[in-house]
Chains A and B, each alone.
Chain A
Amino acid sequence: MLEVTNLYKSFKNVQAVSGLSLHVQAGEIVGLLGPNGAGKTTTLRCICGILRPDAGQIIIGGYDLAQQEQQAKRLIAFIPEVPNPYELLTVREHIQFVAMCYGTIDIFHQRIEELLHRFDLKEKENALVATLSKGMKQKLAVACAFVHDAKVFLCDEPLIGIDPKGQHELKSELQRLRDEGCAVLVSTHQLDTAERLCDRVVIMQAGRKLAEGTLEDLQAQAQMADSTLEQVFLRLTEEAEHAGNPVSEPAPAD
């Protein structure tokens, strides 16, 4: 459903992502892990078309993002780390606006009440977004992701700032999406959550892929049988650091 091949992205002199390849199949949740500055957010922003890669290919549901941008984007829902929604829209208007962007106003009318209730936004539906708490804004961003029929969900630290009930709700939602055949790519620092929620994980460091696979695969790679994902993660990233950070290379010339 989602296939990223040899992705490169740099900002001025900083190589943010260097030769990353990953894939997420339909009905799979993949965790994107890594220390701060590893390039996770840049990767997600490239996949959802906010940033243009320097090199590499991104295929979403069979559509090449570079060539068939609009078709590919119709299949994506993006939940940003810091939502920063439009503060002068009301909650209801915000969700409606996102639905209009995707041309799914019918779905909006069908789902709006359910979404407002599910994410505890009903009481605030006519309040300006500016008046919402940080957690409520995050819930709004999540609700906006469900207002069109996306097949690929890209979640950048989606649980940050949400209360325990909301976190539980969102995790259940992601699992439901997996059961319905959607592909979910979640960037997170919550390793225990990733361990329980994700079918596979990709560990990034300094813009490169350090490891990929199921918990068992990673345990084998780190030679730490029966260890938690957190222990494995720390071992792998520390080893990579001691061995010298993998050198990020610039994108190959066309």
Chain B
Amino acid sequence: MRAILYLNLRLLINGIRRTFTNPLRATAAALVILWFGFTFLGNLMSSAGTHHTPMPPELITRNRDYLIAFLTVMHLMVLWPALSPTVGFRSVQMFTQADVNFLFPSPLRRSLVFFFLLFSRGTVNSLFLLLILLILVISMGRDLLAGLFIGEIPTHLGFVWVYPVMYLLTFFTLLGVGIWVALKEELREGFARRVRWAFWGALLALAGRLGWHGYQAQTRRDDPLGAVVQHLLNDPVVAIPLLPMRALAESAMVFTGGWTPAVTAGFVFWAGALAGIVYLLLQHQHLFYDLAAGIASHSATYALRWQDPGRASYESAVAAAAKQPQKVARWRVFTEWKPQGAWALVWCHSLLMARLSAGWQYLLMLMVPIVSMIVIVFVRGDMSSDMRRFLVLSMMYSFAFFATMSAQSWLVGVLRRAEMNRSLPFPARVVVLTEIAPPTLFLYACLALAWVAMVWFAPEHLLTLVWHTLIVMSLVPVLLTVMLILFLLFPDQSDYTQRVLLGFFMLPVILLAIAPAVLVGVAGALLDLPLWITTMLVVGANAGMLWLCLYLANYQYTRFNPAE
């Protein structure tokens, strides 16, 4: 036990120490700490002497119901991956090859080693959500929460421990269930698939029932969202299966709302479930190391992408070819085009992009806004022209934003290739450009598809759509370059400190990058400039930001150390 504690402590301390030996990362970490400190103190001081007007009781109840429903669904979405062997604990490093080589052959008890590693690393991974909640609470301030719930400063602060404890109980239980499913899969192939289908089936059935209630409320001219929330909380068919998640949601509010029966039920349920799953797992403890070695090997492939790019891409290519040799995609354009010089990089990166991109994911992402629009048209019937314009524009911008965010795996590939590409006779800025260009073009192609759908939906706003498409197109490379800079700054995702910093800085830096375009756009709207002029100005602002980002990415790319 002492040995594993020592290991985890040293890994944490050395990770922090390494962060503070790099000036850029040290500055980033210092900024985070200062932000936490100042915001928290600021909120504390500003809220100390303020008084709030109490809300009407019915509004408090309504807000509370909405919040419980929101937190229930949010926890379900955030925690379900813990159940999935491929998403929950294989993609993150619960077990490493170092554990396999140095810890597993040691005489320490395997159940102790297994559970300690699983729960300690699981805790660290799960704490990212708590961190996000903490950031939200601190940034919104106590006043907002107090006003939202009961109109007073919270009076149940003694219960502040309840949520973290129940959250960890829930997370450990789900993680244990995920491990149990994986163990069963080792013994009986196909078990995990059946569990996955059952889980998704149940979830879809619940969503379908809620959707039906929402639709009925809509046809009665009632509030559909209110109906969905009420059924989520009160319809036994939905509420009972979701009760454990609701308990978690209520425990998150216990320090303002007080202890509720659901919280008690939640503790009983999750503690019992955890005890049960640990008992079940112990029946298979002889298989713990087999499973952990398999997970470590999977995680190692993931880690290898960062640490030994050449070998990782070679091994994954070999594995893919061995699995499905006939399915390696080839396109005429790439076989006939034989460019020289820097264009060879464009050729190579475009081919990789084409092979790596899971086209169906983008199609799915594209389908979400389109299907949403169709559903809205179906539900709302006639819509004003302004409403349709608002809808298509928000769909287009959100699609562009989320599709760009999903290009993160490509950026991991950029780091993988850095060592090889830097040895080529091109300046770093050319390499960075050729890395950013393929995903940009790919997203443009997706946008073109989206654009066709939008025009079909709101043909009267064709010109508006053209101008906004131009804006979105200028935004995509900016977002990609900004994310590349962040990945170059925090390349080691097996280091928790760097993961936290990357997660923390992602949104503010993106907001900073799009700020000039937003400011110019707002100014254009305020000055009532014609849309085409505003568009040109916004595109110009984005071009300037892209130039700046490319300069910074180039600077960081030349200094990036793949060994990290």
Contact of A101 among B11, B106, B494 (CB under 8 A): B106
Identify the stretch in A43-51, A167-175, A231-239, A243-251 within 8 Å (CB) of chain B at 4 or more residues.
A43-51
B460 is an interface residue with CB less than 8 A from chain A: no
**Chain B proximity of A250: nearest CB distance (Å):** 14
Do B109 and A101 have beta carbons less than 8 Å apart? Answer: no
Do A51 and B106 have beta carbons less than 8 Å apart? Answer: no
Do B102 and A85 have beta carbons less than 8 Å apart? Answer: yes
CA separation between A51 and B101, bound complex, in Å? 11
B217 is an interface residue with CB less than 8 A from chain A: no
Is chain B's interface secondary structure helix, strand, loop, or mixed overall? helix
Determine the chain B residues whose CB is within 8 A of the CB of A4 once the complex forms. none
CA separation between A48 and B189, bound complex, in Å? 27
Is chain A's interface secondary structure helix, strand, loop, or mixed overall? mixed
Do A78 and B105 have beta carbons less than 8 Å apart? Answer: yes
Determine the chain B residues whose CB is within 8 A of the CB of A131 once the complex forms. 563
The number of A-B residue pairs with CB atoms under 8 Å apart is 93
Identify the stretch in A26-34, A66-74, A114-122, A195-203 within 8 Å (CB) of chain B at 4 or more residues.
A66-74
Do A80 and B101 have beta carbons less than 8 Å apart? Answer: yes
B2 is an interface residue with CB less than 8 A from chain A: yes
Determine the chain A residues whose CB is within 8 A of the CB of B563 once the complex forms. 130-131
Determine the chain A residues whose CB is within 8 A of the CB of B3 once the complex forms. 97, 100-101
A93 is an interface residue with CB less than 8 A from chain B: yes
Determine the chain A residues whose CB is within 8 A of the CB of B97 once the complex forms. 82, 84
B96 is an interface residue with CB less than 8 A from chain A: yes
Do B286 and A73 have beta carbons less than 8 Å apart? Answer: no
Determine the chain B residues whose CB is within 8 A of the CB of A89 once the complex forms. 7, 10-11, 14
Determine the chain A residues whose CB is within 8 A of the CB of B107 once the complex forms. 69-71, 73-74, 101-103
Determine the chain A residues whose CB is within 8 A of the CB of B564 once the complex forms. 130
CA separation between A5 and B370, bound complex, in Å? 63
CA separation between A70 and B112, bound complex, in Å? 13
Do B289 and A101 have beta carbons less than 8 Å apart? Answer: no
B100 is an interface residue with CB less than 8 A from chain A: yes
Q: Please encode chain B, from 66 to 104, with 1 for each CB lying within 8 Å of some chain A CB and 0 for all others.
A: 000000000000000000000000000000111011111
Do A52 and B287 have beta carbons less than 8 Å apart? Answer: yes
Determine the chain B residues whose CB is within 8 A of the CB of A78 once the complex forms. 101, 105
Contact of B108 among A50, A52, A101 (CB under 8 A): A101
A12 is an interface residue with CB less than 8 A from chain B: yes
Closest to A82 in B: B97
B18 is an interface residue with CB less than 8 A from chain A: yes
Do A102 and B14 have beta carbons less than 8 Å apart? Answer: no
**Chain B proximity of A183: nearest CB distance (Å):** 15
Q: Please encode chain A, from 31 to 63, with 1 for each CB lying within 8 Å of some chain B CB and 0 for all others.
A: 000000000000001001111100000000000
CA separation between A100 and B5, bound complex, in Å? 10
Contact of B189 among A12, A82, A101, A103 (CB under 8 A): A12
CA separation between A144 and B101, bound complex, in Å? 11
Closest to A51 in B: B290
Closest to A44 in B: B105
Contact of B96 among A51, A82, A84, A103 (CB under 8 A): A84
Determine the chain B residues whose CB is within 8 A of the CB of A73 once the complex forms. 105-107
CA separation between A218 and B10, bound complex, in Å? 50
Can you list 27 A-B pairs, Cβ within 8 angstroms, ordered by A? Answer: A48-B104, A50-B289, A50-B293, A52-B286, A69-B107, A70-B108, A73-B106, A74-B107, A76-B105, A78-B101, A83-B101, A85-B98, A85-B101, A86-B11, A86-B98, A87-B98, A87-B494, A88-B10, A88-B15, A89-B10, A97-B6, A98-B102, A101-B3, A101-B102, A128-B14, A128-B18, A130-B564
Q: Which residues of B contact A (CB under 8 A)?
A: 2-3, 6-7, 10-11, 14-15, 18, 96-98, 100-110, 189, 286-287, 289-290, 293, 300, 494-495, 563-564
Q: Which residues of A contact B (CB under 8 A)?
A: 12, 45, 48-52, 69-71, 73-74, 76, 78, 80, 82-90, 93-94, 96-98, 100-103, 128, 130-131, 141, 144
17 additional A-B pairs beyond A48-B104, A78-B101, A83-B101, beta carbons within 8 Å, are A49-B105, A50-B289, A69-B107, A69-B110, A84-B96, A84-B98, A85-B98, A85-B101, A86-B11, A88-B10, A89-B10, A93-B14, A97-B10, A98-B106, A101-B107, A130-B563, A131-B563
